[in-house]
Amino acid sequence: MIVLTDTFFTNHTPSKILLVILTLFLLGSALGYLLEVFFRRLITVRKWVNPGFMKGPWLPMYGFGLVGMFFLCFLLVSILPEGMKLYNPTGNLFGKEYVSGPTVADLIPIVLLTVMMIMLEFVAGLIFVKGFKVRLWDYSNMKGNIMGIICPVFNLIWFIVAIIYYYGLNPFVYQAFLSVSEYLFGDASSAVGAHFGTIFIIGLIYGIFVIDLVHSIGLFSKVQKLAKESGVVERYEKLREEAKKASDDAKKKFFDKLPDAIKKNFEEKDKKNSFVEKAYEAARKAVLIDPDKESTKANYDENGRPIKED
């Protein structure tokens, strides 16, 4: 039998806890969306894309991940032996009053958080690939990948994310959990009424979320079919190639007119950057099956939306 260690969980009704969970889910979904947008812009796709299945600024996988990591940490604090102290920098994390820095026992939650996120990524990827024929991410060019959905490199990234969450974010998420509850409902032992204005806004956001989900389920095939039939894709690609060529010609003409001293300065900078480029290429060869393949970019259309597979 699990003994709950915090009065918040024992004094609040399931409906109140559910509302706080829904709030954290939205927060995790929005923050995850921002993270993925910049990750794809700076590292993988190298352009601005909408990384999600839906049109709105949210990625539900990260919402589930935030809620799952929070409750997994709470569960471990509740079921592990009292003598096994876990990280507790504030002295009140999940109702535990002792203060503790990092310990060897922290490996248990960190490893389990990593496994949970890997499984969540695999299940979500499988749902989209098999159910909706859409690859929101593609690891098929990564060595050791499974169905292009998970791979060792990103498993390592999830391990790092688990460490960052456990040591850096978990105490703040716990405090946010309590603060949101107190804001919505007042203190657990008081008779303060619910903050219905905020609850209404949360409900409104979820209404938009559901409409977005329903609309997005049939969106990809319709958009791609229309683009192909109208010839938009072919015209766009031709215009993009012409614009790129014009831009390259303009840059070359501008560079040719520069004084020799400035040209020499650019050449020296290029030599300094060559080491970084070589290191980057070596890393690509170490983790990619085909370093010359741009598999990730091929998964997005000209509007930055995931392409539905045939």
Phi, psi of 282 (to 5 degrees): -65, -40
Residue 57 lies in a domain: yes
Task: Name the more confident of 189 and 25.
Answer: 25
The residues pairing with 134 across neighbouring beta strands, listed in sequence order, are 308
Whether the predicted pLDDT of 182 surpasses 90: no
Which of these ranges, 21-35, 134-148, 232-246, has the smallest mean pLDDT?
A: 232-246
At residue 87, the 3 state secondary structure works out as coil
Residue 26 lies in a domain: yes
> What phi-psi label fits residue 230: left (phi over 0), alpha (psi between -120 and 50 degrees) or beta?
alpha
Taking only the tens place, the pLDDT of each residue in 150-169 is 999 999 999 999 999 999 99
Confidence at residue 176, expressed as pLDDT on a 0 to 100 scale: 83
Residue 283 lies in a domain: no
Confidence at residue 109, expressed as pLDDT on a 0 to 100 scale: 95
Helix/strand/coil (H, E, C) string of 97-139? CCCECCCHHHHHHHHHHHHHHHHHHHHHHHHHHHHHCECCCCC
Whether the predicted pLDDT of 247 surpasses 80: no
Residue 246 lies in a domain: no
Range(s) of the domain holding residue 106: 7-217
pLDDT band of residue 62 (cuts 50, 70, 90) is very high
Residue 274 lies in a domain: no
Whether residue 307 contacts residue 134, with contact meaning beta carbons closer than 8 Å, is answered with: yes
Residue 286 lies in a domain: no
Whether the predicted pLDDT of 6 surpasses 60: no
Q: How many domains does the chain have?
A: 1
At residue 306, the 3 state secondary structure works out as strand
Whether the predicted pLDDT of 49 surpasses 70: yes
pLDDT band of residue 12 (cuts 50, 70, 90) is low
Confidence at residue 198, expressed as pLDDT on a 0 to 100 scale: 79
Residue 121 lies in a domain: yes
Whether the predicted pLDDT of 246 surpasses 70: yes
At residue 72, the 3 state secondary structure works out as helix
> Which residue in this structure is represented by tokens 């956001």?
205
Q: Which sign does the torsion angle of CA 285, 286, 289, 295 carry?
A: negative
Taking only the tens place, the pLDDT of each residue in 17-48 is 788 888 889 999 999 999 888 888 887 777 77
> Apex CA 35: angle with CA 74 and CA 143, to 5°?
90
Whether the predicted pLDDT of 302 surpasses 70: no
Mean pLDDT for the chain? 78
Cα–Cα dist 143/287, whole Å: 6
Confidence at residue 1, expressed as pLDDT on a 0 to 100 scale: 38
Q: What is this structure's pTM?
A: 0.72
Residue 260 lies in a domain: no
Confidence at residue 65, expressed as pLDDT on a 0 to 100 scale: 94
